[in-house]
Amino acid sequence: MKKFIYSFNETHNEGKETLGGKGANLAEMTRLGLPIPQGFTITTRCCMDYLADATFFEEHLQSEILKAVKNLETETGKSFTADNEILLVSVRSGAAFSMPGMMDTILNLGLNDQRVKKFATLTSPGFAFDCYRRLIQMFGDVVYHIPKELFDQQKERLEQELNKKITAFQEADHFALIVRYQEVFEQYHVVFPQDPVAQLFEAIKAVFDSWNNQRAVVYRNLHHIAHDLGTAVNIQEMVFGNRGLDSGTGVVFTRNPVTGENQLFGEFLLNAQGEDVVAGIRTPEPIRRLRLTMPKVYQDFRHYAELLEYHYRDMQDIEFTIENEKLYILQTRNGKRTAAATVKIALDLAKENRITKQEALLRVTPDTIDQLIHPVFDQEKRQHMERLAMGLPASPGAASGQIVFTAEKAKELTNLGKKVILVRQETSPEDIEGMVVSEAIVTSRGGMTSHAAVVARGMGTCCVTGCESLTVNEEAKQLHCGPQVILEGTIISVDGSTGEIYLGEIPTISADNNDDLQELLSWADAYADLTVRANAETTQDLETAIRFGAAGIGLARTEHMFFGEERVLEMRRLILAESEKEATYALEQLLHFQQEDFYQMLKVVQDKPMVVRLLDPPMHEFLPHEKNDIQLLAKQLQRFPVTIAKQIERLQETNPMLGHRGCRLGVTQPQIYKMQVTALFTSAIRLVKEGITVYPEVMIPLIAEKEELLYLKRILKETIDGLVEEHKMTPFPYEIGTMIELPRACLIADQLAEEADFFSFGTNDLTQMTYGFSRDDIGKFINTYREKKIITQDPFQSLDQTGVGQLIQLAVEKARRTKPNMSIGVCGEVGGDPQSITFFQTLGLNYISCSPYRVPIAKLAAAQAKILTEPAVTEEQMVLL
C-alpha cells in the first residue's frame, strides 16, 4: 500500500523527492539527536495527486492525517482538540528543491475563541492572543487570499482608538481585535473555522495549492525546477519564540553567504516568531549578540551548526526558535549564497577535506561564474556622486536604474526596455516577478536574512536591505531620505557589495579577476580534456580572453577588420575596381591595415595558437545601400553615382547566405586571400624576429569540396613559404585548416582530413544549413515552437544533439579514421554552452571556442563534462550539478 505520511522519528530510506527538502532534513536531524519539535510529513506525491483530483484528500488522505495527529498527541503528551495541555502546530511547505518564501506557511494552528482563553491561563494573555491573531491573519492570507494589509489596518485603527500599542492590550482589547479580524473574513464571505481539525485540513490543502501560485511558478521557471514535483507538507509541534524576552527566533548560516568566510552569519529577534525575521518586519540583531544575551543557548547553537555542516558537507541555512531559553532547531537546508561565496565555500570545503576537488567543481554552476565576472562601479566616477543612503550589503553587484515601487511597475517599464530598481519597505513572495526583472532591489526594512536578501542572492541580483534612513511611501510613489523627496522614475545606483546607494547613474567597468575564481579554474584545467579558446578579433577582446585564461584564439574573424571609414573605402575600391591598377592599389592599402592589426593581435596572444578565418561574407555587405552613401562613395572614387549604383545592384544576391561567399570568394578572387595571409605572416615573421613565439593558424571558410581546399591550400602555402624564404627565416610552425559548416563537409570529412591540418565546426552556419532556419529570422517563431513543445530550446544557443550533433559526430569519426591525431574544435555560439560542451566531451574534441566573457564558464563546464562522463561519478554528484 502506498504510504502517504512519515513521522520525523520514523526509520525509512525516503529522501527529498518524497519528503521534500525540509521534511527529509527534519527526519535526518531527528535521527542525529538534535532538539527538533516533533511532527510528520505528507509526501510530495500527495500534493500532485490532490492537484490532479481534489477528491483524493477526502477519500485517501484525511483519515491518515487524523492518525498522524493522534500519534503526535501521544508523542508530545498534548491534545490538538481538547483544552488541557494544548497542542498547536505549524503547517509548512517543503519542496524537493529549496524555494525560499515561494509557498505558504501557517503558524499557531489549533487555536479558537475558546482554546485561546485556556491557552492564556497556561501561558499569558498577551502571548496567547498574539498567537491567535497571527493565526487568523496567516489563515486568511494563505487559505482565503485575504490581503494581510486589511488585518494590519484593523490593528492600527484599534491601537489609535484605545491610544495604546498592542503590547499593552488587556484581554477585552485582544478580543475586540479578534472580532475585527473575523469581520474581515465576513467581507470575503468566509468564516474563520473554530474546529482545529477543519483548520488543519484547510491549511494543508492551501499549502498544496500554493505549489501552483504565480510566484512559485515564476521561481521554478527562473531556476529550471520541474513543475511536476509537488511540495511536501510538514506538520510540526509549535514552539514559541514570542513568549517573552527569554524567547526568540532566528536564521543563521554556518558560513557567510555573501563572502563565504567560515564564521556564523545571521540574525535573531527576541520575543518574535520565525516569520518576523524572514518577512523583514523588524530589523533583527546579529547572531554574535546572542552570546551576550543567552550564552548557553549560543554555545548549544554553535555545536549544532558545526554538526549539521559536517553532516551535510555544505554551508547550512538554519532556522531556530528559543522558548524559555531552550533551543529548538526548526529547519536546515543548503544555504543560498552569492557567486563569490559559492566559489570560496567550494574551495574551502575541499581544502578542509570535507569534499573532493571534483565535487567542489560540480558545486559551482556556470551561472555562478557569469555573475562573478560582471562589471563593478567605476571608482573614479563614483567619488563624484552624491551618496543617498547606506544599508546592509545583502547581495553583491553594481546596478543603476529607475526607481519603481511595485512589482507591476517593474514589469511594465522593463517591457518598455527600461532598467529598473525595485524599492520597497520590505519585499514579499508576491513581488517575485518584479524582483526577477529588476537590476537591483532595495528595502528600507529587514536584515541580511530577509526575503529580499535570500531571493536576491539566489538570483545573483544586487540587493541592499535595512536602509532605515529611507522612508518608502508606496502609495504616493515617493522615497524620503531626510528632507529629500525622491520620485518614482528617478535614477539611482546601488552597490550590493558595500550597501551604498547613490543618486544618478554610475558607469560600470569590468571586474578584476577574483583570486578564488582563478584557483577554481586552475583545478578545472587540471581535470578538463577540452581546452578553451576564445572568439576575438580586437586587441581589447584578445586581452580579456587571455586574462580569463583562454588557451588561444579559436576564431578571429577578419571581415570586422575591414570596417572603419578608411578601411571600408579601400574595400569598396577593391570590389568596384575598374582596372587592375586600382585593385592593386586597394589591396596594398588593405595589406597595410591588416599587417598592423595582425601584429597587435599576435603580440597579445604570443605563444598561444591563433586561428584566423579568411574573409567569409559576400562582397555586397561592404557596399552602401542608401542614396546619400552611394553619392558619397561615387565622389570618393571619382565616379558617377549611377555607375556605382548599377555595380552594387549587379553584386546583389538572391540568397547571400548560400551565395558568393567564403572559400568561393577565395577561388574567384584569390588575390584577397593572398593579401590576408601575406599580412598575417609578415606580422608573424616580424614578431619572431623580435624574439616572440607565435602560432598562426589559417582557417578557410565554407568548404564543400575537397578540390576547393586543395586549390586554396596550394595558393596559401606558396604565399607563406615565399614570405619565409624572402625574409630568410627558419620555417616556423603554422597550420592551414578548414571550417566545417556545411552538411556536405561533414559527409566528406574523411576526404577533407587528408588535406586539412585541423577542423573547426562553425555550428552557427551548420545549424542554419541543417535546419533550414535563418539565425536572423528564427526569433519570429522560436517562442511559438517552444510553447507548442515542438522544440525545447534555441538550437543556435544550445546544440541540437540529435540532428546537427549527429553530423558533427559523423565528421569527427570520419576525420579521425583518416588522421587519428587531428586537432578538432568548435567555434560557434554553442562553444560556450555547458550542455553542448558535455556533448563535445563525449566526441573527444580537442577544444571549444567562445566569446571572451564565456571563457571562464566554458573552462568550468569542460571540467564538469569530464567529471560527469567518468564512470565513477555518483548519483549524488550528478544531483549537485
Which CATH number covers residue 73?
3.30.1490.20
**Residue at which a domain ends, from 177, 205, 238:** 238
Task: Check the annotation: does 741 bind a ligand.
Answer: yes
Q: Is residue 363 part of a domain?
A: no
- Provide the pLDDT for residue 655: 84
C-alpha span between 249 and 668 (Å, rounded): 78
Is 60 tagged catalytic?
Answer: no
- The whole-number mean pLDDT for each consecutive block of 10 residues of the chain, a chain of 881 residues, reads 90 88 94 96 96 95 97 96 92 84 83 94 88 95 93 94 90 93 95 97 95 84 84 95 89 94 95 68 86 96 97 96 95 89 97 97 89 77 89 88 95 94 87 90 84 78 90 91 93 91 89 83 96 90 90 91 82 90 92 95 96 91 86 90 89 85 95 96 97 97 98 98 93 95 98 98 94 80 84 88 97 98 92 93 96 89 93 51 44
- Sign of the alpha-carbon torsion through 823, 828, 834, 835: negative
C-alpha cell at 661: 561567399
Strands 387-390 and 500-503: antiparallel
- Least Cα distance to 420 among 433, 853, 428 occurs for 433
Q: Is residue 808 part of a domain?
A: no
Determine whether 217 is exposed, middle or buried from the number of CB atoms within 10 Å of its CB (0-12, 13-18, 19+): middle
Same domain? For 51 and 122 the reply is: yes
Same domain? For 382 and 457 the reply is: yes
Given the residues 47, 131, 467, 827, the one annotated as active site: 827
Task: Check the annotation: does 765 bind a ligand.
Answer: yes
Same domain? For 217 and 262 the reply is: no
For the chain, the distance separating the N- and C-terminal CA atoms, rounded to the nearest angstrom, is 34
C-alpha span between 642 and 778 (Å, rounded): 36
Burial 236-258 (b: 16+ CB within 10 A, else e): bbbbbbbbbeebbbbbbbbbbbb
Strands ordered across the beta sheet of 89-95 = 5-7, 39-42, 231-237, 89-95, 105-109
- Provide the pLDDT for residue 875: 45
Strands 478-481 and 484-487: antiparallel
Same domain? For 431 and 563 the reply is: no
Same domain? For 226 and 268 the reply is: no
The pTM of the full predicted model, rounded to 2 decimals, is: 0.77
Same domain? For 727 and 639 the reply is: yes
Task: Check the annotation: does 115 bind a ligand.
Answer: no
Same domain? For 208 and 252 the reply is: no
Task: Check the annotation: does 763 bind a ligand.
Answer: yes
- Least Cα distance to 825 among 625, 603, 630, 553 occurs for 553
- Provide the pLDDT for residue 104: 77
When computed from its CA atoms, the radius of gyration of the chain, rounded to whole angstroms, is 33
Q: Which residue has the cell 519564540?
A: 241
C-alpha cell at 232: 511536501
Q: Which residues pair with 94 in a beta bridge?
A: 232
Strands ordered across the beta sheet of 478-481 = 470-473, 478-481, 484-487
C-alpha cell at 15: 529522501
Which domain range does residue 724 map to? 558-737
Given the residues 47, 131, 451, 663, the one annotated as active site: 451
C-alpha span between 791 and 812 (Å, rounded): 26
Same domain? For 469 and 488 the reply is: yes
- DSSP run (H or E) holding 6: strand 5-7
Residue 790: Cβ within 10 Å count? 10
Q: Secondary structure of 527-546 in the HEC alphabet?
A: HCCCEEEEECCCHHHHHHHH
Q: Which residues, other chains included, contact 326 with Cβ-Cβ below 8 Å and sequence gap of 6+?
A: 35
Same domain? For 84 and 227 the reply is: yes
CATH of the domain at 617: 3.20.20.60
Q: Is residue 872 part of a domain?
A: no
Task: Supply φ then ψ for residue 822, to 5 degrees.
Answer: -65, 135
**Residue at which a domain ends, from 468, 486, 509:** 509
Q: For the chain, how many structural domains are there in total?
A: 4
Q: Which residues pair with 465 in a beta bridge?
A: 392
Q: Give how far the C-alpha of residue 223 lies from the chain's centroid of Cα atoms, to the nearest Å.
A: 7
Q: Is residue 496 part of a domain?
A: yes
Q: Which residues, other chains included, contact 357 with Cβ-Cβ below 8 Å and sequence gap of 6+?
A: 350, 523, 527
Q: Is residue 777 part of a domain?
A: no
Task: Check the annotation: does 722 bind a ligand.
Answer: no
- Least Cα distance to 805 among 836, 784, 774, 782 occurs for 836
Q: Which residues, other chains included, contact 654 with Cβ-Cβ below 8 Å and sequence gap of 6+?
A: none
Strands 484-487 and 491-495: unpaired
Q: What is the largest CA-CA distance in the chain?
A: 107
Residue 671: Cβ within 10 Å count? 14
Query: Letter for the amino acid at 573?
Result: R
∠ CA 756-760-764 to the nearest 5 degrees?
135
C-alpha span between 200 and 219 (Å, rounded): 27
CATH of the domain at 325: 3.30.470.20
- Provide the pLDDT for residue 428: 79
Same domain? For 130 and 161 the reply is: yes
Is 311 tagged catalytic?
Answer: no
C-alpha span between 154 and 875 (Å, rounded): 53
**Residue at which a domain ends, from 679, 714, 737:** 737
Query: Letter for the amino acid at 485?
Result: V
C-alpha pair distances (Å), 625 with each of 327, 410, 539: 76, 40, 30
Q: Is residue 43 part of a domain?
A: yes
- Provide the pLDDT for residue 510: 67
- Sign of the alpha-carbon torsion through 97, 101, 105, 107: positive
Same domain? For 65 and 158 the reply is: yes
Same domain? For 234 and 286 the reply is: no
Q: Is residue 551 part of a domain?
A: no
Q: Is residue 256 part of a domain?
A: yes
C-alpha span between 535 and 852 (Å, rounded): 7
CATH of the domain at 444: 3.50.30.10
